[in-house]
Amino acid sequence: MESSGGKTIGILGGMGPEATVDLFAKIVRATPARVDQDHVRVVIDSNPKIPDRTAYLRGQGPDPVPAMVAGIHNLVRIGADLILIPCNTAHVYYDRLQAASPVPILHIMREVARVLAAGRDEGAPVPRRVGLLATELTVESGLYHRSLAEVGIEVIVPEPDVQELVTKSIFGPEGIKAGCYAPSRSRLLAAGHHLVERGAQALIAGCTELPIVLRPGASPVPRTDPAEILARAALREVLGVDTGGGGAAGWREGTDAGAAGSPGSTDSSLRNGLPPETGPRPGARGRAGEAS
């Protein structure tokens, strides 16, 4: 294939660092390339010092927008034609960021809505009720609710006690950001089953850290990965072609057939870039195997 003609994807990262790595890996894996030169140019500003996105709106910290805008300008200065933000919660500030950006910023919720409305495969039914696993601020913001309502899809959110489990899975001392994957995964699976019991026909892993620990085959309903959708949407923009499976990859990721570790499965943690089944990443503050 031809290269992208010099178009460059910019990733405003660091929110968090592992989600940034995950998005970049998904861009690379989704690119229809035969040689290095077929890949698109990607520039990344991974700044974990950006103030907490939730704390500011709770009146407990500084405004993160100036630091995010500085990162966007950095990326544009070194050639970015399009900006991706691998943080669902940061999209609460999307309007302010886009107003300050000289280049387009893809909106992760709108891209998810576009893909879900199209169905997982040609002729497949579109889900009418989806469950949302996300941070409290993402849930409260209604960003997914509004984007999906425009395509006729209802969003179901966890009950408060279950939402607390999701929050703990992301931010807690034994959470994903602390490098503790196994306890987080157990809580998230329980929250996903709770949403299915409430009528969800599909699940959205609406925090970019969640796909780091949620494996194929773990959900009783299809589960979509917004970071995967964002990666493919960016390639669509810079290559001018649909790389295929913009939503299918996310949908297939949640089906029980061919789950990782099952007989005949072609998936593996290594191939999918997933962390080990148990234990924290090297150097993590958390401890492996602790009960949730």
180 is a catalytic site residue: no
Residue 89 has a pLDDT of 95
Identify whether the C-beta of residue 235 lies closer than 8 Å to the C-beta of residue 27: yes
Residue 219 has a pLDDT of 82
Residue 145 has a pLDDT of 98
Residue 220 has a pLDDT of 87
Domain 8-107, CATH number (from 3.40.1440.10, 3.40.1280.10, 3.30.1490.190, 3.40.50.1860): 3.40.50.1860
199 Cβ contact partners less than 8 Å away, ≥ 6 residues apart: 129, 156
Q: How far apart are CA 30 and CA 41, in angstroms?
A: 14
Residue 213 has a pLDDT of 92
* Annotated active-site residue in 82, 87, 221, 234: 87
For the chain, the domains span 8-107, 109-252
Q: In the 8-state DSSP scheme, what is residue 227?
A: H
Residue 276 has a pLDDT of 43
CATH of domain 109-252: 3.40.50.1860
The conformational region for residue 5 under phi > 0 = left, psi -120 to 50 = alpha, else beta, is left
Residue 123 has a pLDDT of 52
Model confidence, pTM = 0.83
Residue 185 has a pLDDT of 93
Q: How far apart are CA 183 and CA 290, in angstroms?
A: 7
207 is a catalytic site residue: yes
Residue 215 has a pLDDT of 78
Same fold, 8-107 and 109-252: yes
Residue 269 has a pLDDT of 33
Could you list the mean pLDDT of each consecutive 10-residue stretch along the chain, which spans 292 residues? Answer: 71 96 97 95 98 93 98 98 98 98 99 90 75 96 98 98 96 91 93 97 96 83 95 96 57 38 29 42 40 26
* Annotated active-site residue in 106, 134, 207, 249: 207
C-alpha distances in angstroms, 76 versus 63, 71, 95, 104, 162?
22, 9, 18, 10, 40
Q: Which amino acid is at 72?
A: I
Residue 279 has a pLDDT of 45
